[in-house]
Amino acid sequence: MKYPEILSNLIEDLKMLPGVGEKTAERYAFSLLEKTKEDRESFITSVKNLDKLRKCSICNYITEDEICSICSDKSRNNKILCVVEDAKTVLLFEKMGTFKGQYHVLNGLISPIDNIRPEDLNIPTLIKRVIDGGHTEVILAIKSTIEGETTSSYIKRLLKDSNVLVTRIANGIPIGAEIDYIDSMTLEMAFENRNELV
Ligand SMILES: [Zn+2]
Residues 143-194: tens digit of each pLDDT: 888 899 899 999 999 998 888 999 988 655 554 566 666 666 677 767 777 7
Q: What pLDDT sits at residue 21?
A: 95
For residue 83, how far is its CA from the centre of ligand 1 (angstroms)?
A: 12
Q: What is the pTM of this model?
A: 0.79
CB 10 within 8 A of CB 43: no
Q: Report if residue 27 sits inside a domain.
A: yes
**Dist. CA 88–CA 69, nearest whole Å:** 15
For residue 23, how far is its CA from the centre of ligand 1 (angstroms)?
A: 39
For residue 164, how far is its CA from the centre of ligand 1 (angstroms)?
A: 20
CB 144 within 8 A of CB 172: no
For residue 154, how far is its CA from the centre of ligand 1 (angstroms)?
A: 23
Do residue 120 and residue 150 come from a single domain? yes
Q: What pLDDT sits at residue 179?
A: 63
For residue 72, how far is its CA from the centre of ligand 1 (angstroms)?
A: 7
Q: Report if residue 148 sits inside a domain.
A: yes
**Dist. CA 152–CA 171, nearest whole Å:** 15
For residue 102, how far is its CA from the centre of ligand 1 (angstroms)?
A: 8
**Dist. CA 41–CA 18, nearest whole Å:** 23
Do residue 47 and residue 79 come from a single domain? no
Do residue 112 and residue 17 come from a single domain? no
Do residue 24 and residue 77 come from a single domain? no
For residue 66, pLDDT over 90 is answered with: yes
The CATH number given to whatever domain includes residue 112 is 3.40.1360.10
The CATH number given to whatever domain includes residue 28 is 1.10.8.420
Q: What percent of the chain has pLDDT over 90?
A: 71
**Dist. CA 146–CA 79, nearest whole Å:** 29
Any idea of the CA torsion for 91, 95, 101, 102, to the nearest 10 degrees? 10
Q: What pLDDT sits at residue 95?
A: 87
Which residue range forms the structural domain that includes residue 160? Answer: 73-196
For residue 131, pLDDT over 70 is answered with: yes
Do residue 16 and residue 46 come from a single domain? yes
Is beta strand 80-84 parallel, antiparallel or unpaired with respect to 137-141? parallel
**Number of domains forming the structure of the chain:** 2
For residue 187, how far is its CA from the centre of ligand 1 (angstroms)?
A: 22
Helix H or strand E segment including 188: helix 184-192
For residue 149, how far is its CA from the centre of ligand 1 (angstroms)?
A: 25
Residue 20: exposed, middle, or buried by beta-carbon count in 10 A (0-12, 13-18, 19+)?
middle
For residue 55, how far is its CA from the centre of ligand 1 (angstroms)?
A: 8
Residues 38-61: tens digit of each pLDDT: 999 999 999 999 999 999 999 999
Do residue 39 and residue 96 come from a single domain? no
For residue 59, how far is its CA from the centre of ligand 1 (angstroms)?
A: 4
Q: What pLDDT sits at residue 181?
A: 63
Q: What pLDDT sits at residue 171?
A: 52
For residue 152, how far is its CA from the centre of ligand 1 (angstroms)?
A: 21
Q: Which residue has the higher pLDDT, 196 or 51?
A: 51
**Dist. CA 67–CA 61, nearest whole Å:** 9
**Dist. CA 6–CA 193, nearest whole Å:** 53
The mean pLDDT of the chain is 89
Distances (CA, A) of 52 to 16, 40, 105: 21, 20, 19
